[in-house]
Amino acid sequence: MVSRLVLGCGSTGALVVEGLAERPGDLQVLCRDEDRVETLRGDGVPATVGDPARTAAIEGVVADSGDVDVVFVGADDPERTEAILTAARERLPSAVVVAYLGAGATDAVRAAVESGADRVVDHGDVLADRVVDAATSEAAVRCRKLRSVLRNVDGRLAVVMHETPDPDAIASAVALARVAEQFGVPATPCYYGDVSHQENRALVNLLDLDLRQLDADSDLSEFGGFALVDHSRPGVNDGLPMDLYPDIVVDHHPPRGPVEAGFADLRSDVGATSTMLTGYLTELGVPLSETVATLLLYGIRVDTDDFSREVCREDLLAAATLLPHVDLAVLEKVESPSVGTETVDVLSRAIRDRDVRDRVLVSYVGVVSDQDALAQAADRLQSMEGVDTVLVYGRADGTAYVSARSRSDGIDLGETLRTAFGQIGTAGGHAGMAGAQIPLGIIEDVDDGETVDDAVERLVTDRFFEAVADRPIDLTVPLETRLGEASTGGDDAESDRPRRIDDED
């Protein structure tokens, strides 16, 4: 099916063709100027020589394609526009017709065009500027680069989330896979670890998402390309080889250093990677399905804590774009899941073994099988009276996993965790939410009579309290300013809402 047809290709029509060529979907041009048709063909735009004012010529373009969605009449001469419009309406009565009415139109021609077209644009200078802006804006440039990289992927694209993915990562992976498929590239959303949080499992199950779980034994040779979403470095917070060169990286966390990829879109001034993917879908004209819209809206809501944390204008605009397409009944079910016994047990241990000093609570819960329970415990403990900063940690498979929350004006958790654990593990995040992973192989000696748990607790608790004490923050600087600085800093951190998670990449 020919979704867009340009009839006539004057100077303004040529600009419209240039803009439309950057968007997915079929495009055809019918023009009687042989030189222009040859130029368009050289640029990869399907174009046919013929008189667009003749229904037979239009029939020759669309005969095998069925109906047309949108027709743009792009002649510069008003009388030619009227003639082409008449032929278009005769052959394509159900199409939406946009007509450009150049300078010098008589009242009669103007009336005829306005009567026959669904929309008339008659200020060429304004339209030209608008088309040029659409073709050269930052968003359009990103989309062109993304499209170019996608078209060079030879085979199936693996869209890889960070380990134990949160809603933002899941939504972004599914949406990017949808974009890739729009350009004819098969794609599979993939993840390492587990979808562990109850709400995340409910989201995957209720929307019947087809996600691929990878592990160390997975054969990656089946993929012709790799994309990373919601994190930016292969081998860090995912199980990919560290020397892998990704084709695409899309992330809203500030990177620690240069990110190497065929295409990299790193924006720490937005609240969620889902916001960025919503922009791609909109700019590229990819239809929003109910499933993708529901995922993306939930991803934005979770990462911005229902638009109360580090939210920006783009997040709100994305939410407004998505809302009409969302399955609200699914979201209601996702947000009311049953709580697992592991979460209840971890929360109980965190409350029982808490260590509170100057409104800062630290709790070690021992061995955990569900790392996401740490994040849920930290969320709940933050509401305790007399506490405004919480760090909960446990260990599993030779690694200590740390989850932290703060609503204090006097601490930046991302920076504090990097200070405490950055040299012995990976750590980072945002001002109010952060995480860390510490390999426990660094504990070489255990004192006489000391258990492994004693050694872990001594290492993590002491380092964190020391970092809190050693990092005074100027409380005369408004919290909003510090939050903004934290979200645009130079360090690369995984989701600030730990998978729903907050652990750093």
Least confident of 110-124, 201-215, 482-496: 482-496
Calpha distance 401→456 (Å, rounded): 11
Calpha distance 316→275 (Å, rounded): 9
Can you give the pLDDT at residue 505? Answer: 41
Residue whose C-alpha is closest to residue 459's, from 504, 402, 405: 402
**Domain 341-487: assigned CATH number:** 3.10.310.30
Sheet containing 47-49, strands listed edge to edge, beginning at the edge strand earlier in sequence: 47-49, 27-31, 4-7, 70-73, 96-100, 119-121
Can you give the pLDDT at residue 65? Answer: 58
Calpha distance 6→70 (Å, rounded): 9
Can you give the pLDDT at residue 473? Answer: 46
Between these two residues, 250 and 100, which has the higher pLDDT value? 250
Calpha distance 204→169 (Å, rounded): 12
Percent of the chain with pLDDT over 90: 44
- Contact between 30 and 58 under an 8 Å Cβ cutoff? The reply is yes
The vertex-62 CA angle with 59 and 65, nearest 5°, equals 145
Domain boundaries, the chain: 4-136, 142-334, 341-487
In the block, residue with structure tokens 């609240």: 271
* Model pLDDT for residues 284-338, shown as the tens digit of each residue: 878 899 999 999 999 999 888 888 777 899 999 999 999 999 999 998 888 766 6
Is the pLDDT at 389 greater than 80, yes or no? yes
Strands 389-396 and 399-406: antiparallel
- Helix then strand then coil, in percent of the chain rounded to 5, is 40, 20, 40
| Structure token digits, residue 252 | 């809203």
Calpha distance 48→58 (Å, rounded): 10
Question: What are the DSSP calls for 76-136, one per residue?
Answer: SSHHHHHHHHHHHHHH-TTSEEEEE--TT--HHHHHHHHHH-SEEE--HHHHHHHHHHHHH
Residue whose C-alpha is closest to residue 438's, from 343, 500, 340, 364: 364
Can you give the pLDDT at residue 20? Answer: 74
Strand partners, 24: none
* Model pLDDT for residues 16-59, shown as the tens digit of each residue: 787 777 766 678 899 998 988 898 888 888 899 999 999 999 98
Length of the chain: 505
Least confident of 90-104, 117-131, 153-167: 117-131
Can you give the pLDDT at residue 64? Answer: 61
The predicted model gives 344-364 an average pLDDT of 93
Calpha distance 320→322 (Å, rounded): 6
Between these two residues, 158 and 99, which has the higher pLDDT value? 158
Can you give the pLDDT at residue 480? Answer: 46
Phi, psi dihedrals of residue 287, rounded to the nearest 5°: -60, 140
Q: Which CATH superfamily is domain 142-334 in?
A: inorganic pyrophosphatase (n-terminal core) (3.90.1640.10)
Can you give the pLDDT at residue 444? Answer: 63
Can you give the pLDDT at residue 471? Answer: 63
Mean pLDDT of the chain: 83
Q: How confident is the model at residue 222 (pLDDT cuts 50, 70, 90)?
A: very high
- Contact between 17 and 6 under an 8 Å Cβ cutoff? The reply is yes
Quick one: angle between helices 273-283 and 290-303, nearest 10?
A: 150
Element of type H or E holding 384: none
Is the pLDDT at 478 greater than 60, yes or no? no
Residue whose C-alpha is closest to residue 366's, from 463, 247, 481, 454: 454
CA atoms within 13 A on the CB side of 430: 30
The predicted model gives 192-220 an average pLDDT of 90
Calpha distance 370→335 (Å, rounded): 19
Q: Max alpha carbon distance in the chain (Å)?
A: 100
Q: Which CATH class is domain 4-136?
A: alpha beta
Can you give the pLDDT at residue 178? Answer: 96
* Model pLDDT for residues 86-115, shown as the tens digit of each residue: 999 888 886 778 888 877 888 899 899 888
